[in-house]
Structure 1
């Protein structure tokens, strides 16, 4: 039995999508051999979980058929413990929650979207302090531990009055490769899920739009970059404020188990010559 030939347009799109990922892998020492072995596990994991017949787990033979992975490898990979680390690490989840509280909930903000500088100690700032902010979200971790980590990551800064200032209007570490890699996996995964849904599932599509031009000057690109940084962040902050309010409203509802990711992105590079583009087709 032969599998149908994949659409040429899909193969071309996949090749383009993989280029920046391969660039990252080569820069970080991930070889083709290592990646191909890892992908065997991903193919088997997805086929096992999402390609069932009559809600029954597929056999090793069926997984081998639809994935092209040898049956001996399928058996070995299915018996191994699956890598299910799809969620953000707990420390980043807590950090994002703290930033959301800081930005949207009194007394930690001057108004929604305007986080206040917080005295470090509750003995100085009382309910409006960094100590209290952390304690209101978790009783298991000390505020000093969070502060030291956030200072390392560039999320906050201290002033000469021992007050803590939020450096970024969303929890995006400025330093720390592991932390940035976790967000890379989270954001690219969810963007890809939305795009794959729109290609493969009938029904209402997820919102996924972009604006693209290829005849701009460097000065024009810089102007657009500045507008995106300002107005894009303002839009995200409005979404964040709405989501925070709805989460607080729905917190006791049994159905409050849905998660969302909302993203905006900006990218620029020199436009390729038409001849180069044509040769890639």
Structure 2
């Protein structure tokens, strides 16, 4: 279901207000936002308007987005899609925690051998994607301190992938924002019989001396919830628990979460 242009523009202003607040906090001006909007329009439309040679069709992108063709060419030539898939890291950690092949008898992620093509770690990575080099994934897991060396291989040292650094953190925010917008669109515009879960809990008069305890509780409970969630969803995942007679393509299921405490409030 599509909404009329007037309503869509009004909603877009609401969606943009947090972005504008981010710009103001970091001394970014309207011209910066316009340039970034052009880049976002071009990159978001590229997959839909590739030409016969798999190269982006600048004329089609310009017609589809309203970005001048000259700007489209400039952006495409300047920015190649080289982003590393953070989803891949999340999936690998999740499979390590839920796939019986990579778990101990008591249900914990086991130490994986890592030497060579037939190693357990290579098998883990290739169970998710055969298009990525396991050595590259190993480097990334080491970079984010998700693994440590152990006798006989490597050990998983995190309960989930918590982004470290600006690039990783905002990449996760971008994906969360896209899925949350789709969630609200579907719930509000399509009115499904079983809606997607969307809830918010907020208290505005919490005593400051309780903040540290609350932060620790939220982080601990968040990790526990996502652990239970990975175990539950893994029962239905065709990669982890394949069903012999299943045909077709599986569906993507996302459950995210965050907590925020405004410690600068007056």
Q: Quickly name the TM-score band, shorter chain normalised.
A: 0.5 to 0.7
Q: Does 1:244 align with 2:234?
A: yes
Q: Encode CA deviations 1:39-88: one digit per residue, 9 max, x unaligned.
A: 35767978xx9xxxxxxxxxx9xx99xxxx9xxx55648986998x9x99
Q: Encode CA deviations 1:166-185: one digit per residue, 9 max, x unaligned.
A: 2222233434x444333221
Of the two structures, which has the highest relative contact order with CA contacts closer than 8 Å and spacing of 6 or more?
A: 2
Structure 1 residue aligned with 2:93, among 95, 99, 103?
Answer: 99
C-alpha displacement of 1:104: 0.8
Residue equivalent to 2:54: none
Q: Encode CA deviations 1:208-230: one digit per residue, 9 max, x unaligned.
A: 11211111123322222222212
Q: How does 1:122-201 map to 2 (within 5 A)?
A: 129-138=120-129, 141-159=132-150, 161=151, 163-175=153-165, 177-201=166-190
SS class of match (1:183): helix
Residue equivalent to 2:256: 263
Structure 2 residue aligned with 1:227, among 217, 220, 226?
Answer: 217
8 Å contact from structure 1 (residues 109, 115) kept in 2: yes
- When Rg is computed on C-alpha atoms for both structures, the one with the higher figure is 1
Q: 1:173/1:136 Cα in 2 relative to 1: closer, same or farther (>3 Å)? A: same
SS class of match (1:247): coil
SS class of match (1:157): strand
Question: What TM-score do the two structures reach when normalised by structure 2?
Answer: 0.67
Separation (CA, whole Å) in 1 of partners of 2:185 and 2:142: 37
Residue equivalent to 1:56: none
C-alpha displacement of 1:251: 8.5
Structure 1 residue aligned with 2:207, among 197, 204, 217?
Answer: 217
Gaps of 5+ in 1: 50-59, 274-281
Q: How does 1:39-78 map to 2 (within 5 A)?
A: 39=37, 73=66, 76=69
8 Å contact from structure 1 (residues 120, 131) kept in 2: yes
Aligned length: 239
Residue equivalent to 1:34: 32
Q: 1:224/1:251 Cα in 2 relative to 1: closer, same or farther (>3 Å)? A: farther
Q: 1:221/1:13 Cα in 2 relative to 1: closer, same or farther (>3 Å)? A: farther
Gaps of 5+ in 2: 49-59
Residue equivalent to 2:19: 18
Higher mean C-alpha deviation, range 186-195 or range 140-149: 140-149
